[in-house]
Structures are given as structure tokens and as C-alpha cells.
Structure 1
Amino acid sequence: MTAFPRKPALLAALALLAGAAMTPAEAQSTVTEGRKLAFDRGKGNCLTCHVMKGGDLPGTIGPELKDIKAKYPDRSELTAIIFDETKRNPQTMMPPFGRNRILTEQEIDAIVDFLQTL
């Protein structure tokens, strides 16, 4: 039995460090899961505040989510925003999804994978 917790995001990072890349099917799976979470009105709920390609009845409180990979080439910045934007902007309306345990680290990683396709 290993002493390390089994976290998919950690395992994926270790695999990348070891030189093993995600297969295209694995990458597509995380993008699909991220899209599902982002559009889920009870979980990620991104559409409450953001316009996103493919989303129905979007809100206009937050910025439109497009060209994300160009805006955030370093995925860690986008991950930090979703985890807890109040650290960067204390006046934000965006909920701290990670800090408040609304989303797990794995779910945030999947949403970032999806957003980077927009």
C-alpha cells in the first residue's frame, strides 16, 4: 500500500514528468468531463455568469469565455482563478470553487482542460 493519496491530477502530473503523455482518448475524456461540469447548473455553473460557445441561457456578469488558451497560456493561472479568484481580486463575484470545496482539484483540472479548447 502506498503512502501517497491517489489523486488523478497528481498522477497525470507525475506521468508527464516521467515523460508519459496523456493519450488522445484520455485528453478528450477530461475535456468532455470539463464541459459537462462547466455546463452543469448544479456543479460548475459557469453559464450563470459567462457566455460560452455551446451554452444555453448564459449570464453576462463575468467575461465571455473565449480564446482562453491565448489569454492564459499558463494553465496554473486559470486553475488558480477557478480555485479562488478572491486571492487575486477580493471584490470578485466569482465563487471560490476550490476553497469552498464546490469543485475538487480533479474537477477544476477538467474544467481548465475544457476552457482551453474555447
Structure 2
Amino acid sequence: MPALAASLLLAVTVTSFSARAQSAAAEGEKLAFDRNKGNCLTCHEIKGGSQAGNIAPALTNIKSKYPNRADLVAIVSDETKRNPLTVMPPFGRNHILTDKEIDAVVDFLQTL
């Protein structure tokens, strides 16, 4: 009986985590497409977005390109630290997005 209870608890925990991750990714998508917040479509082509820009690379296969989540967070937060010549806005440094919003955008980007 304890093994069954542990299995049920694990299943509920995994389901709850998955639902939270989907919710965060959905919020991140809203932020990425919002012209007043993430505004990612101004420069990037993103599946599901309209009126995409072509200044920057299309955002596809992100999780395979950036397997280390922290690298992607750093890019969204302040790409100028890695590439001083970038035209990408430093969303974190300039307080365009909060840390929580950046995490949500990264959650979304990792679904692409």
C-alpha cells in the first residue's frame, strides 16, 4: 500500500509540475507577442506569431540550440554582456521585463 501511495503522489506531482510549466509557457507566449512587453515579433519570426520581423534569426529549435536554460535567461536579460554589438534590447537590465516575466518567456522559447 505505501508503494501505491508513493506512486500516486509522484503522478500528482508530475502532473502539477507539467500544468505549471504549460501555464508559464502560455504566459511567456503572451509576453513575447505583446508589443508593449517582450515584443519579440518585431525582430524574430516565431511560430504562431503574426507580422514577424526579419532582423534577427527565426526562433526555432531553441531547446536544442540552448540546452542550458541559464544561457537563454542571460540572453533575454542582457545579451549585451555576451555580445556588446547586439541590437537585442536588454529586457532585464532596462526593466522591460521582470525576472518572473523573463522566466516565463524562456519557458515559452523552450517550447519552440
Please classify the TM superposition score into its range, dividing by the shorter chain length. Answer: 0.7 to 0.9
Larger radius of gyration: 2
Aligned to 1:108: 102
Structure 2's unaligned 5+ residue stretches are 1-12
How many angstroms apart in 2 are the aligned matches of 1:43 and 1:93?
A: 16
Work out whether 1:39 is the aligned partner of 2:33.
Answer: yes
Q: Percent identity?
A: 66
Give secondary structure in 2 for the equivalent of 1:23.
Answer: helix
Q: 1:96 aligns with which of 70, 76, 90?
A: 90
How big is the shift at 1:25? 1.3
Give the TM-score of the pair, scaled to structure 2: 0.85
Query: 1:52-71 alignment to 2 at 5 Å?
Result: 52-71=46-65
How big is the shift at 1:85? 0.4
Q: Which runs of 4+ in 1 moved over 3 A?
A: none
Give the TM-score of the pair, scaled to structure 1: 0.81
What is the alpha-carbon root mean square deviation over aligned residues? Answer: 1.2
Structure 1's unaligned 5+ residue stretches are 1-19
Select the structure that is richer in helix.
2
What number of residue pairs does the alignment pair up? 99
How many angstroms apart in 1 are the aligned matches of 2:51 and 2:23?
A: 25
How many angstroms apart in 1 are the aligned matches of 2:78 and 2:95?
A: 10
Give secondary structure in 2 for the equivalent of 1:38.
Answer: helix
Q: 2:18 aligns with which of 24, 36, 39?
A: 24
How many angstroms apart in 1 are the aligned matches of 2:18 and 2:63?
A: 18
